[in-house]
Amino acid sequence: LSFMEYNNLPYIIILTKVDKLNATELKKRRTEIKNELENYHPERMIEFSSSNKTGVRELRETICSFTEE
């Protein structure tokens, strides 16, 4: 992440396996990660699960937007 920040490169954070957490646990984990990343500036943070397809469209669209720039 430091490399990406230093070189001003866009990046995203992908939270995988979100289907394994209930809503309360996910909210807590999201807050923990935001606190851990307070010195970094990702383009976005995407919650993803291949099992229930959460975030699949958003991730695809985001990847495509990076390749179009």
Write the pLDDT tens digit of every residue in 15-34: 999 999 999 999 999 999 99
Please tell me the distance from the alpha carbon of residue 54 to that of residue 47, in angstroms, as a whole number.
Answer: 7
- CA 68 vs CA 49, 61, 64: distances in Å: 25, 11, 6
Answer yes or no: pTM beyond 0.75: yes
Give me the helices (H) in the chain, please.
2-6, 23-36, 56-68
Mean pLDDT of 29-44: 91
* Residue 69: pLDDT over 70: no
